[in-house]
Each structure stands twice: as structure tokens, then as C-alpha cells.
Amino acid sequence: MRNMKKILCGLFIVLMLCVVPVAAVSVAAIDNAENGNRPTVLVEYGTGKDVGLVKVTHIHYAKSVDRVKPAKTDTCYKLTGWKWTVPVTYTIAPNDGAYPPSLDNPVAEACDEWDSKTSRQLFYDPVPGEYSAGTARDYKNSVYYGDYVTDGVIAVTTTWYSRLTRTAVESDILFDTDFTWGTSGATTVMDVQNIATHEIGHTLGLDDLYTTSCSAVTMFGYSGYGDTAKRDLAIPDITGLQKLYGV
């Protein structure tokens, strides 16, 4: 009996040693998720019934050296786990002159950049129309200016997808009015097309990257005033896109 107790105690200790590292990895994964990709399972209000959709919020931060992590991979693309039944149509918030510049042309150019890197037609031409905030589903893929509650956030893309089919059903993009926006490429403005190209990557199914070796790709998770290089996709962006939608 004593020998049996010793054996059981030994097994318990081994089991605990195996469990502790797993818990540490889980905590790290949660911490990494705070950089951008934030999934929420949606339920029906009042009943708690699972509606089969997952809502994911990607947050694009202003440049921050202390957030960038050492390089772990040279892949430099990461898939979110969903894709679209393409083509996709964006509804662009009408520009009433209250906040320049207009989003129409920069967003259309950003869509064309992704479209040009695969034989699939990814987008219809963006259309002007009414929109709702990205926290609510209205069955339109809206692009608009708005004031995001957290400081240092350039833009936010909110996407809903089916947990069963892994197919996206809506994606909204907010450009934060805390920043000065423009299309000239000047160092005093946040470039609309540059940021739009990144955010549209989230819509299509590509995730943020936070390692120094990936800082030149469009899907790198930080930007700053005067950045225009990410209007054009890098090879890893194209590789990720073509894994989802073909060459």
C-alpha cells in the first residue's frame, strides 16, 4: 500500500509539472491577443442562444517601439481563420465636408491593390451610403471616420464570421478622428490609402504582425504619420492572400 501511495504521489508531481508550463503559455497567448485580434462569440440578446457568429476586432496602433517583439519567424503573414465568398462591397460614408479627405478614392485604390494580386475578383467598386458604427451589425461593410475611445489607435476593423463555415459576413472599418488624415504622403498626416490597405487585409482574412522582421509588410501592426510604403503589398502579404483566394 505504501509503495502504491508513493507511485501515486510521483504521478501527481509529474502531472503538475506538465500542467504548469501549459498554463504559462495560455497566459502569454491571452496577452498577445491584446495587441489586436479580439474574438467574441455572439449570443442572442435575452435568451443567450448561440447565433453561430464570432466578432473579431483588430486594432491598429500608432508606432510604439516598446510593443514590437523580437523576430520569431520569417513567414511574415498570419491568417485569421476566415475568408469571404467574394466579391465584397464596401459602403463608404458620404463626405459632408465635416472631415476631409474623402474616403472614396483611397479605399478604392486599396481594394485594387489587393485585387491585382490574385485572379479572383475580391471587391466590387465601393459605393457611398449610410453606415452604422462597427460595434453593431447592419449587413453592410462600412468604412467611416469616427472617434475611438482609446488613445493611440489609428483605425479599427470589426469583422463577423460564421464559426461553422469560417466565412466572413460583415466587416466595418473606422478611421479615428484623433489623427490628421490626408492623401499627400506628407509627414504631417496619416495616409488614408496606406491605412486602408492594411485594414482591408484584415477584412480579407489576414492578421496583424508584431515582430521586427515583419515591419516592412503591409500587415505590420503599427503605423505613423507620413507612412505610405504599405499602400503596396509586400511578398508575404501576397503569399497570405493567395493562400486564401488563389493565385
Q: Look up the CATH number of the domain holding residue 98.
A: 3.40.390.10
Identify whether 15 is part of a domain.
Answer: no
**35 and 221 in contact (C-beta within 8 Å)?**
yes
Identify whether 81 is part of a domain.
Answer: yes
- Say how far apart CA 67 and CA 58 lie, in whole Å: 16
DSSP strands (E only) in 83-216: 90-92, 127-128, 141-146, 153-162, 168-176, 181-182, 190-191
Identify whether 5 is part of a domain.
Answer: no
Identify whether 24 is part of a domain.
Answer: no
pLDDT for the residue 47: 53
**80 and 37 in contact (C-beta within 8 Å)?**
yes
Q: What's the pTM value of the predicted model, to 2 decimals?
A: 0.79
How many domains is the chain built from? 1
DSSP track, 5-70: HHHHHHHHHHHHHHHHHHHHHHHHHHHHHTTS-EEEEEE-TTT--EEEEEEEEEEEEEP-GGGPBP
Identify whether 14 is part of a domain.
Answer: no
Identify whether 27 is part of a domain.
Answer: no
Q: Which domain holds residue 195?
A: 34-245
Q: What is the DSSP letter of 85?
A: S
- pLDDT tens track for 123-162: 999 988 877 766 678 889 999 999 999 999 999 999 999 9
**83 and 193 in contact (C-beta within 8 Å)?**
no
β-pair type (141-146, 153-162):
unpaired
Residue 242's Cβ-side half-sphere holds a number of Cα atoms within 13 Å equal to 12
Q: From residue 156, give the alpha-carbon distance in Å to each of 28, 125, 203, 247.
A: 23, 21, 11, 28
**164 and 46 in contact (C-beta within 8 Å)?**
no
pLDDT for the residue 43: 53
pLDDT for the residue 131: 75
Identify whether 49 is part of a domain.
Answer: yes
Identify whether 7 is part of a domain.
Answer: no
Q: What is the pLDDT along the chain (247 residues), one digit of tens a residue?
A: 444 444 333 433 332 333 322 222 212 222 233 334 556 766 555 555 567 899 999 999 997 644 444 444 568 999 999 999 999 999 998 876 777 899 999 999 999 999 999 999 999 999 888 777 666 788 899 999 999 999 999 999 999 999 999 999 999 999 999 999 999 999 999 999 999 999 999 999 999 998 888 999 999 999 999 999 999 999 999 999 999 999 9
